[in-house]
Amino acid sequence: MRLPWKIVRRLPDHHYVPRIYGRSAGKMRDIRHDERFMRAADPVVKGEPRRSLLYYDRLHTLYQGFENACRLSDVGPHMAEIGVFRGGGSAFLASLAVAFERPGATLVSLDTFEGHAGADLPTGREAVHVPGTFGDRTSYDDVRDYLSVYPFVNVVQGRVQDRTDAIGRSDYGLVHLDVDLYQPMRFGLDWFIPRMASGGTIVVDDHGFTTCPGVAQAVDEALSAASRPVARFALLTGQCVLVVV
């Protein structure tokens, strides 16, 4: 009798996924050999307390977005992260600006720092998300202090809809939207698409995750309404990369 099981040795730092994913993973370049990336990513992933829910795969997408933003101009890039949590993603981007020796780089790090706002959940729930989700694991003061080593980072508290005073410039090279919910995602896209530098990148988190159905809906609607051409790449990391022409 042949059993429907296959016994394999579990290797350190490996996980097992359906065959459709990672079919040629054994031939892929190992991003751990990119020392500049790893120097920025390791403190975010391995630090205590854990400062971000992003792992190496999603951080690498931001890394590429940063590299591309640097190609747009000799100055900057100007960046924004909406949905900061404990500040790890912002620290990652800021450390890249230092490592790449980018003059004039700026970063706005905006979050409620109180979890999901009730105003963004008109029915009281969106999939697994309810008002206050993540709020007990972060605070404005903690993140502001954590990022204070980077003088070009502006930590802003509030809903993105209420703090456009902090994100009004029109030459963003890289924007990271990690807000989980339809309403802030739709607003963020409608706000930033017209304000991106030509060739600038918006990285949308949670686009492919079943736990955040409003994110993909917001992307579809925002691109249909956009006044500028936008190239879209839905990645197997669950992210969606938008390049604004």
SS3 126: strand
Q: Give the contacts of 180 (CB within 8 A, at least 6 positions apart).
A: 83, 116, 126, 129, 133, 206, 211, 212, 214, 215
Q: Give the contacts of 81 (CB within 8 A, at least 6 positions apart).
A: 89, 90, 93, 107, 108, 109, 110, 175, 176, 178
Amino acid 130: pLDDT = 96
Contact 173, 77 (CB under 8 A): yes
Amino acid 9: pLDDT = 77
Q: Is the pTM of this model over 0.85?
A: yes
- CATH T-level assignment (fold) for domain 27-244: Rossmann fold (3.40.50)
Q: Which segments in the chain show pLDDT lower than 50?
A: none
Q: How does DSSP classify residue 72?
A: H
Question: What are the helix and strand counts (H, E) for the chain?
Answer: 6, 7
Amino acid 1: pLDDT = 63
**What residues does each domain of the chain span?**
27-244
